[in-house]
Amino acid sequence: MGAWGVKLYSSDIAVDVKSEYIDQLRRGKTNEEITNNLIEENIDIISDEEEGPEFWFALADTQWNYGRLLPAVKENALKWLNQEGHLEIWKESSMKNYNARIVVLNELKIKLLSPMPQEKKISRYNLYKCQWKIGDVFAYKFTGEYSCDKGFNKKYVLFRKIGEDIYPPGHTMPIVHVYKWIGDTVPDISIVNKLTIIPQFYEPVAYKDLKTDKILYKLLLMSTSKRIIPSKNITHLGNIQDDEINSKAINERNEKHLCSWKYFEQYIIENYLKWENIDIL
C-alpha cells in the first residue's frame, strides 16, 4: 500500500490522488472529467480491498475541501468508512496504529457528513509555449557581468532551434544546437553552414571515459514564461530547415542538458572555452 503513517495522506495512493486531482483542476478540466479519469486510471487500486479505501478517502476529502464533492464519491467513501475489514492491516501493525487510524477515519466521516464549503476558485496554470519555429537561428549578445569579466562583452553566439520538450507542469520549451562560434557582430545566417555544433555538459575528456562516439549536443532552454527570456539580447537571423544544413552530420545522444536563462551566458562561455581548441567529432 505504500503507507508511512496513519494520517489520511500518509500513503502513496492518497498523495497521488490528491495531487493529480488538483493538477487537473488547474488544467481546466471539469470535476466530472477528472473523477472519471482518476477512476479509469486507478481501476486496479479501486478493486483492491486494502488500497481501494485509500483512493476513495483521498478523493472524497480533496473534493470536499475544494467544495466539489460528488455524490458517488461521497457514497463510496462512506461505504468504506462504515466497514472495518480494511483496518486489519493496521491492527497487524500495532494496536496503537489501529486506534490512531480509527480516529483519523472517524474525523473524515464527520467531515464528509457536514456541510461542504463553497466551491473554491482555482488558479489555472499559465503555461508558456515557445513561439520560435523549428529551424529558427538566433544570435545572442553577451551583456552580463560574467561575460564582461571574461572579455566576452557585446560578443555574439549563435544557436538554432531543433526541437521542443514539455517541462512540468506543461511548458513547451525550445531545444537548441549551439554553434562553436563567438563573433563581434551579428553574422549572416549562411555562416551556420560553415560551423560545427558544440557539445553540451560533458567535459571533452569525459567522452573517452564514456567510451562512446555519441555526443550530447542538445541544450534545453528553461523557458517557463516570456518575461524571463532576455529578448533584447536575441536577434532572429532567419530559418534554416534540416535539409538545408550543409554542416557535417553528427552522431547525437538522445539526451538534453537543461540550462536556465539566468545562467545562460556563464554556461555558454564556460562550455565554449572547454571546447575552443578541441576538434569536435
pLDDT (average), residues 202-209: 80
Q: Which residues contact 144 (CB under 8 A, 6 or more apart)?
A: 265, 266
- pLDDT tens, position by position, 135-183: 999 999 999 999 999 999 999 999 999 999 999 999 999 999 999 999 9
Q: Which of 64-78, 95-109, 154-168, 237-251 has the lowest mean pLDDT?
A: 237-251
Q: For residue 97, what pLDDT is reported?
A: 87
E-only strand ranges, the chain: 136-141, 156-167, 171-183, 219-222, 234-239, 257-260
Q: Report CA-CA distances (Å) from 38 to 8, 14, 50, 88.
A: 18, 12, 18, 26
pLDDT (average), residues 9-32: 96
> Residue 18 and residue 27: Cα distance in Å, rounded?
14
**pLDDT exceeds 90 at position 5:** no
Residue 197: other Cβ atoms inside 10 A: 24
93 — pLDDT class (breaks 50, 70, 90): confident
87 — pLDDT class (breaks 50, 70, 90): confident
Q: For residue 112, what pLDDT is reported?
A: 98
